Amino acid sequence: MSDNGNLLTVTDDNFAAEVEGAKGLVMIDFWAAWCGPCRMIAPDVEQLADDFAGRARVGKLDVDSNQKTAARFNVRSIPTVLFFKDGKLVDQLVGANPKRVMQAKIEAHL
């Protein structure tokens, strides 16, 4: 994970507080350890957490351990990256998108 602690670990238990209760933009990567494309984008997600520290929050949610939240947002394919602004879902990306695509989505919603 991110060396400086900017990357959030989001779970079913803390989703309401960390994402829905957050002011501003939160990007959540829905992933699983067995998912090759998820592992492929993981370094980019971690870098975005560092790049946008103080301006947007970036986190990861393991869909195997947190099925309730994944089902609630109809996450059927991973990686899926959801973008929340002031607690409301505003955008999403499905699949292994390049860092620049995720970065553009963050910037569009800041």
Q: Considering the candidates 26, 28, 38, 78, report the single residue annotated as catalytic.
A: 38
Q: What is the DSSP string of 70-85?
A: HHHTT--SSSEEEEEE
Catalytic annotation present for 35: yes
Residue 38 annotated to the active site: yes
Give the 3-state secondary structure percentages of the chain, helix then strand then coil, rounded to 5. Answer: 35, 30, 35
Q: Looking at 35, 48, 58, 70, which residue is catalytic?
A: 35
Q: 25 with 106: CB under 8 angstroms?
A: yes
Task: Report how far residue 78's alpha carbon sits from residue 69's, in angstroms, rounded to the nearest whole number.
Answer: 14
Active site residues: 35, 38
